[in-house]
A and B are shown apart, each in its own frame.
Chain A
Amino acid sequence: MSGLIQIIGNDGGTWLAADGPEAGIVFSSRVRLARNLVSMLFASKAAPGEQKTVVAAVKSGVQKCPSLGQLAFIDFSRLNKREKRFLMEGYCISREMAAGDGKRAVFLSPDRELSIMINEEDHIRVQSILPGFQLREAWQRTNTVDDELGERMDFAFSDKWGFLTACPTNVGTGLRASVMVHLPGLIMTREIASAVQTVSRLRCTVRGIHGEGTDITGDFFQISNQATLGQDEEGLVGNVQRIASELVAQEKRARGVLLERHKMQVEDRVGRALGILGRARMLGLEETMSLLSALRLGVCLGLVSRYPITLINQLMIQVQPAHLELSSGREIEPGTLDGVRADVVQEALARR
């Protein structure tokens, strides 16, 4: 069994077992803060020896924090590529953290809602993630952890530029707030472009993510702040909150339109998704994500009552490649991954 699984278990983290506010449209809310220690080179420029020092310093700092006793420490030199990908698929670490090399580590809470990355692009990246629309809550948690760490460590900071980060695009608050939303309604009514353009302001970005196997696909979008300097943290979080709320409202309206005027088409799409997910012997990642997206819509519109949304949310992560490979507990023959995926999907759907 993978060493990582031994530390953190196999369930994808309990944070996805709950659904959170606006669960039908909002998949997750996340806030991260970037910090660096004074007098140490930033992670990408530091030699391995210095990177190790940073890991040790942060580790010791975290272990002194009374409220962070539950966090598991994961040394990246012990992880293989698949295990790092596993963490990234579950949103515990960023893609940059999984892809990069150098001396890295992460502290992870049992429910996976809190992670403290060490030597990502910056020395420290504190991240809170929560299901549904809970952006302010995620901010409060991250902020509290940052306060605790700040009392025990010296962060690089200037009066003018705020918290100093490796990339000037993060300088100031070092804060990135993001909300992941599911917008199949706006896509099916072909209003997505105008909806997004209407809400794109306040120096925030709305990213639609497609592509083969690289990330969540299937009608998902991520809203995050682009600017990190010039406003205080609450203001920045508020901007993302506002824009996400508007998109949620738009999506609700679009879904209403779908039910009123295009019910047959929606039912057809959902029905086909159920059919393929339930019967196919091989399921590719991109197709699966698209089908799960349709199923998710069906559940939220009340067309499908058998499956709770949390099941689908969790499936979206469980069908990712590293999750399939590590959960099965054995080596998967190349070329059979799609078959394993079909089994996993059908097992999850049959359990209901």
Chain B
Amino acid sequence: MLCQICKINEATVRYTEIINNSVTEVHLCENCAQFDEKTASEDFPLQSLFTMQDEQAETSTVTETEAAQECPSCGVAFGDIVSHGRLGCAECYTVFADKIEALIEKVHGAGQHVGKIPSAKGEGLRARSELLSYRSQLRKAIESENYEEAARLRDLIRGIEQRMVEQ
């Protein structure tokens, strides 16, 4: 059985990948296995996802103009991103947002981060979500005429707002 990538060498590496009920057997030669991202890293390769995006179409979904678009921050062209499966910098996420959005949705089945936030950056984000929470608690406290609690919350809110202004 010939290697599925180079189609020259005999395939000596094979693995079975089963993702959400679809089974694929992959056969590679020793050389290509070293560079194949599935065996090279545990991560799911990006290139195949760009083609997976539009299984019905016979041509690639990335037009020439799209491929030429560059990120102003790192200079990487979108075409490069598709072929190497990697972005150049954090800015790329903003620059190519619309194209990446569909891809992210496909891989993760979601488009919004709900996990932890970084300890350092947390300050601003945490403050904002705390504010939202305290404000709604304040409303409830006032409605239920629990004025002591309301006062406590009001002071907390003032404290956070003050800190945010100072930053």
Question: Chain A: residues with CB nearer than 8 A to chain B?
Answer: 36, 38-42, 44-45, 94-96, 99, 121, 143, 147, 150-164, 166-173, 175-176, 178, 193, 196-197, 200-201, 203, 205-215, 222, 224, 226-233, 236
Give Cα A209 to B43, complex, Å: 15
Chain A residues whose C-beta falls within 8 Å of the C-beta of B46 in the assembled complex: 167-169
Give Cα A143 to B18, complex, Å: 28
Given A160-B113, A163-B118, A172-B113, A215 contacting B39 (CB threshold 8 A):
yes
Distance from B33 Cβ to chain A, minimum over Cβ atoms (Å): 6
Q: Does B104 contact A (CB under 8 A)?
A: yes
- B39-82: CB near A (< 8 Å → 1, else 0) gives 11111111001000000000000000000000000101000000
Least CB separation from B27: chain A residue:
A211
Decide if B20 touches A151 in the complex (CB within 8 Å).
Answer: no
Least CB separation from B88: chain A residue:
A45
Partner of A42, one of B43, B88, B113: B88
Chain A residues whose C-beta falls within 8 Å of the C-beta of B19 in the assembled complex: 200, 205, 226
Give Cα A147 to B118, complex, Å: 7
Decide if A201 touches B20 in the complex (CB within 8 Å).
Answer: yes
Given A231-B110, A232-B116, A167 contacting B43 (CB threshold 8 A):
yes
Partner of B40, one of A95, A167, A203, A205: A95
Chain B residues whose C-beta falls within 8 Å of the C-beta of A175 in the assembled complex: 115
Decide if A169 touches B89 in the complex (CB within 8 Å).
Answer: no
Decide if A164 touches B41 in the complex (CB within 8 Å).
Answer: no
Chain B residues whose C-beta falls within 8 Å of the C-beta of A205 in the assembled complex: 17-19, 44
Chain B residues whose C-beta falls within 8 Å of the C-beta of A168 in the assembled complex: 46, 87, 100, 103-104, 107
Decide if A147 touches B90 in the complex (CB within 8 Å).
Answer: no
Chain B residues whose C-beta falls within 8 Å of the C-beta of A200 in the assembled complex: 18-21
- B10-23: CB near A (< 8 Å → 1, else 0) gives 00111111111101
Chain B residues whose C-beta falls within 8 Å of the C-beta of A203 in the assembled complex: 20, 108-109
Give Cα A316 to B41, complex, Å: 20
Q: Does B6 contact A (CB under 8 A)?
A: no
Known: A168-B103, A232-B114. 12 other contacts (CB 8 A): A42-B87, A150-B120, A158-B93, A161-B104, A172-B113, A205-B44, A207-B16, A212-B12, A214-B33, A230-B113, A232-B115, A236-B115
Q: Does B84 contact A (CB under 8 A)?
A: yes
Chain A residues whose C-beta falls within 8 Å of the C-beta of B35 in the assembled complex: 99
Q: How large is the interface on B (under 10, 10 to 19, 20 to 34, 35 or more residues)?
A: 35 or more
Decide if B107 touches A227 in the complex (CB within 8 Å).
Answer: yes
Give Cα A5 to B69, complex, Å: 47
Partner of A196, one of B18, B41, B89: B18
Give Cα A233 to B164, complex, Å: 28
Q: Does B119 contact A (CB under 8 A)?
A: yes
Decide if A228 touches B108 in the complex (CB within 8 Å).
Answer: yes
Decide if B86 touches A173 in the complex (CB within 8 Å).
Answer: no
For the complex of A and B, 7 pairs with smallest distance between CB atoms: A230-B110, A162-B113, A211-B13, A150-B119, A156-B90, A229-B108, A173-B115
Highest count of chain B CB atoms <10 Å: which of A36, A164, A213, A233? A164
Chain A residues whose C-beta falls within 8 Å of the C-beta of B15 in the assembled complex: 207-211
Distance from B80 Cβ to chain A, minimum over Cβ atoms (Å): 9
Given A42-B88, A178-B42, A154 contacting B108 (CB threshold 8 A):
no
Decide if A197 touches B17 in the complex (CB within 8 Å).
Answer: no
Chain A residues whose C-beta falls within 8 Å of the C-beta of B30 in the assembled complex: 212-214
Give Cα A175 to B42, complex, Å: 12
Give Cα A44 to B88, complex, Å: 8
Decide if A157 touches B114 in the complex (CB within 8 Å).
Answer: no
Decide if B113 touches A151 in the complex (CB within 8 Å).
Answer: no
Decide if A176 touches B43 in the complex (CB within 8 Å).
Answer: yes
Given A155-B118, A215-B39, A208 contacting B110 (CB threshold 8 A):
no
Decide if A155 touches B43 in the complex (CB within 8 Å).
Answer: no
Given A150-B119, A201-B20, A167 contacting B111 (CB threshold 8 A):
no
